[in-house]
Amino acid sequence: VSKASTPRAVGLVGGGVIGAGWAARLLLNGVDVRLFDPAPQTERVVAEVLENARRAYGRLTLAPLPPEGSLVLVDSPEEAAAGVELVQESAPERLELKRELLAAVERGASSETPIASSTSGLRPSELQAELAHPERLAVGHPFNPVYLLPLVEVCGGSRTAPETVTRLAGLYRSLGMHPLVVRTEIDGFVADRLLEALWREALWLVHDDVATVAEVDDAIRYGAGLRWAFMGTFLTYRIAGGEAGMRHFLSQFGPALAWPWTKLTDVPELTDELVERIAAQSDEQAEGVPVRDLERRRDDVLVALLQALRAEDAGAGATLAAWERGLMGGAAGLDGDDGGPLRLHGTRIPADWIDYNGHVHESRYLQLCSDATDALLGALGVDAAYLTDGGSYFTVETHLSHLRQLEAGDRVQVATQVLDADEKRLHVFHAVLRDGEEEPVATAEQMLLHVDARSGRVAPARDGVLDRVSRLRDAHAALPRPERAGRAITIP
């Protein structure tokens, strides 16, 4: 893969959603842009899309972005094409209109400047038919939002020079995109053939009143859509085939292609030759990685995606969050309390808590105590319903003491004592105890405040919780005060 450098200047023809998306990706990569679009709202649309893109890039990367390129709105396709290293056309999908614009671009551009069309539906051979230099035209089909999605399909027509395709792929790669060279010129290229198939079926489902648009979307985003974010359909089914792989999957799944719900369409006959082709290409794609490893890799990425979605409270991430709130409600109760410190949390130290020095990372001692606090809150009645209703405790201060060291595999329990409490405050002390030992390996003193999540302010705990807090405080008042409670840090 040759590394092209970022172009200095690019001409754009068309400033709708796609053209403005191109402008944003280019400008934020430090490329100067000359844009032609006769529509009066162009300047506003581009400014709005650029603002969205700036915001997204600010979150996307810690890498230093180059100084933003300059944007010039020009009055003709000829001017957009003057002195640039690439012209990208993103006009409405009408062949005659695009041909006219491309002819004008050609008049303004030097004869070596590559010209790309963002078309999703017109063949490059048709677009280039009337050009004086058809060899430098190809399709460069991006996806919305252009400044974030990496895919761009590059497809040459019958008169496109192979160097044009290579050059475009390099230019797109320099902008952080993933060029997919479509080797065979077909209507819809590759991606839109797949998108269209899904879209047609979705329209039928709504047409037949089987599902609403929201139900169709949910059927995607809570299930297969999560896999499609990093695996396509073939790798997914290879893994579904298990140890026996793709040939097995096809032989098992093949008959499904003749099931009744395929009445809406033709399906290719799964001849031995086709099965063999798919299986061989699938073997090549998997690069010899065994299916168990593919499964673990799939799981790792799914976990990362679910956590990303949870942070955004989106789709399957919201489902994960709801499940976790439910788990909190099931934490141990105060039943069987013997009047001593509570033992609400125990675990085994996992290997990935070990830092580069071979010790348990100090933050994981706090995690143990924090999990004990969570268990305590659950036992006090801070459950999913309470949280949903806006009540919650927040830790505002923690004083940790590291007394001895834990090792991976150690079993520990946390002993928890309530030192003090009032209607808004909860003052607790945790001792981390290795199983079978009396002396703690670490202690944590914590102050928590009760807040009303809706106002974001400190507020008294609600009745049921407050009662339990008070009872526990009174019960623990009889316990000896831990030696390390109330410490401040100093060199005397």
CB of 323 to a copy of itself, least distance (A): 3
Backbone angles phi, psi at 179, to 5 degrees: -75, 130
Please count the residues of the chain: 492
Instruction: Specify the 3-state DSSP secondary structure of 110.
Output: coil
Our CB check for a copy of itself shows the closer of 205 and 334 to be 205
Q: How far is the CB of 78 from a copy of itself (least distance, A)?
A: 28
Alpha carbons 422 and 458: distance in angstroms, whole number: 12
Q: 34 or 173, CB closer to a copy of itself?
A: 173
Distance CA 282, CA 298 (A): 16
Nearer to a copy of itself, 48 or 130 (CB): 48
Q: How far is residue 309's CA from residue 329's CA, in Å, rounded to a whole number?
A: 22
Contacts of 206 (CB under 8 A, 6+ apart): 212, 213, 216
Min CB(73)–a copy of itself separation in Å: 19
Is the Cβ–Cβ distance between 78 and 105 less than 8 Å?
yes
CA distance 74 to 187: 32
CB of 69 to a copy of itself, least distance (A): 13
Q: Which is nearer to a copy of itself, 136 or 141 (CB)?
A: 141
142 burial level (CB within 10 Å; 0-12, 13-18, 19+): buried
Q: How far is the CB of 296 from a copy of itself (least distance, A)?
A: 6
Q: Whose Cβ is closer to a copy of itself: residue 224's or residue 340's?
A: 224
In the complex with a copy of itself, the residue whose CB is nearer, 129 or 306, is 306
| C-beta neighbour count of 108 within 10 angstroms | 22
Please check whether residue 117 is in contact with residue 97, taking contact to mean a CB–CB distance below 8 angstroms. no
Residue corresponding to tokens 């949390």 = 345
Which helix or strand (DSSP H or E) is residue 103 part of? helix 95-108
**Which helix (H) or strand (E) element contains residue 344?**
strand 342-348
CB of 77 to a copy of itself, least distance (A): 22
Sort 448 into a burial class: Cβ within 10 Å, 0-12 / 13-18 / 19+: buried
Output the smallest distance, CB 487 to a copy of itself, in A.
6
Q: Hey, what amino acid is at 151?
A: L
Whole-angstrom distance, CA of residue 175 vs CA of residue 3 = 11
Whichever of 3 and 338 has its CB closer to a copy of itself, that residue is 3
Shortest spacing between CB 426 and a copy of itself, in angstroms: 9
Q: Least distance (Å) from a copy of itself to the CB of residue 334?
A: 13
Please state the closest distance from residue 315 (CB atom) to a copy of itself, in A.
Answer: 4
Rounded distance, CA 209 to CA 123, Å?
35
Paired residues of 345 in beta bridges: 414
Q: Output 38 or 358, the one with its CB closest to a copy of itself.
A: 358
The Cα–Cα gap between 320 and 309 comes to 9
Of residues 103 and 332, the one with the C-beta less far from a copy of itself? 332
Nearer to a copy of itself, 102 or 366 (CB): 366
Instruction: Give 135 or 153: the residue with its C-beta nearer to a copy of itself.
Output: 153
Pairing outcome for strands 115-117 and 137-142: parallel
Minimum distance of a copy of itself from residue 186's CB (angstroms): 6
Strand arrangement, sheet containing 71-74: 71-74, 32-36, 9-13, 86-89, 115-117, 137-142, 151-156, 178-181
